[in-house]
Amino acid sequence: MKMRSTTNSSTHYAPYELLGMQQPKGEGTTIIESTDTDNNMAATEEQLLQWNATKEAKTIQAIANDLEARDARLIAMNSKRKPKSYNIGDWACIANPLANKTNKQISEPMKIIGRSTNLQIYTLQDSNGKTRRANIAMLRDTTTTNYSKGPETKTIGPKAALVKTFSKGKTTFYVIDQEASAKDKAHWCYDNKRKKSEWTQQRWELSKTTITDYTLLEEFNMEISSRNFLIPPTEIRRNHPSVAILQQGKKKPTTSKTKKKKK
């Protein structure tokens, strides 16, 4: 009863009033006296029209009051907030929401060299001179006022390539060395020494295997992990999910049911 008869702070009406009912009276009173009869309780058509008009008027006024209260709350919440914006020449990072926990969540500090007229799309330039366009929602503030040095360049390893060979009806994939190698010379192949380890903990080293006749799939630079090991970049693994040598160490889903061995 209390919830239905309490005046709402936004609409300024109680639920009883918006249903066309009168506010309940205090405890100990009766709405219908024992002396009332059916004839006395019957309402005329004019009274019904007046009741309906009053109900509709209260409903419209309640909606208007609620919208006005919502606008007032938004103004109060945003009173201490300032619209986010960047100027040309400022520095910012680009967020990467699709990165997993082992990859960087934001890019290196980049310089803003352009922006759209509505201040929503920005053009940024990295340390290599390449430009990227990003929405303002993807930009993150940074205190850096220059391109990062050292850590970014250390992660870049030697040139490599993903290739495949076809022999006796079988396709084999290799990661070969492309560092200062001529096209007519044999290329050394990389071998993963930690096939069962996680991707970031693997160690790729040059083996004694060489190939000359192959089909080039993609060229890239090996990355240097935090343990100073060579590993293929994550983008290469994602671009070639069917290549087994790149997916080594990936966790397989476990099943609760196990097959019984036949006797």
C-alpha 212/C-alpha 222 separation (Å) is 20
Residue 13 confidence (pLDDT)? 77
**How many other CB atoms sit within 10 Å of the CB of residue 161?**
19
Residue 22 confidence (pLDDT)? 60
Q: Could you tell me the sign of the dihedral formed by the alpha carbons of 136, 142, 145, 149, in that order?
A: negative
Residue 151 confidence (pLDDT)? 43
SS (H, E, C) the chain: CHHHHCCCCCCCCCHHHHCCCCCCCCCCCCCCCCCCCHHHHCCCHHHHHHHHHHHHHHHHHHHHHHHHHHHHHHHHHCCCCCCCCCCCCCEEEEECCCCCCCCCCECCCEEEEEECCCCCEEEEECCCCCEEEEEHHHEEECCCCCCCCCHHHHCEEEEEEEEEEEECCEEEEEEEECCCCCCCCCEEEEEECCCCCCHHHCCEEEEEEEECCCEEEEEEEEEECCCCCEECCHHHHHHCCCCHHHCCCCCCCCCCCCCCCCC
pTM, rounded to two decimals: 0.39
Domain ranges of the chain: 91-141, 155-246
State the number of CA atoms in the 13 A half-sphere of 125 facing the CB: 12
Residue 184 confidence (pLDDT)? 58
Residue 35 confidence (pLDDT)? 47
C-alpha 71/C-alpha 136 separation (Å) is 25
Whose structure tokens read 């004019």?
46
Residue 181 confidence (pLDDT)? 56
* CATH number of the 91-141 domain: 2.30.30
Residue 91 confidence (pLDDT)? 93
Residue 152 confidence (pLDDT)? 43
Residue 40 confidence (pLDDT)? 53
Residue 50 near residue 58 (C-beta atoms within 8 A):
no
| Digitized pLDDT (tens) for each residue of the chain, 263 residues in all | 456 667 777 887 777 777 766 655 555 444 444 444 445 556 788 888 888 888 888 888 888 888 888 888 888 888 888 788 899 999 999 998 877 777 788 888 999 999 999 889 999 998 888 899 999 999 999 888 877 654 444 478 889 999 999 988 899 999 999 876 555 578 889 998 888 888 778 889 998 888 888 988 999 988 888 778 888 888 888 888 888 888 877 554 444 444 455 54
Cα 212 versus chain centre, distance: 43
Residue 235 confidence (pLDDT)? 84
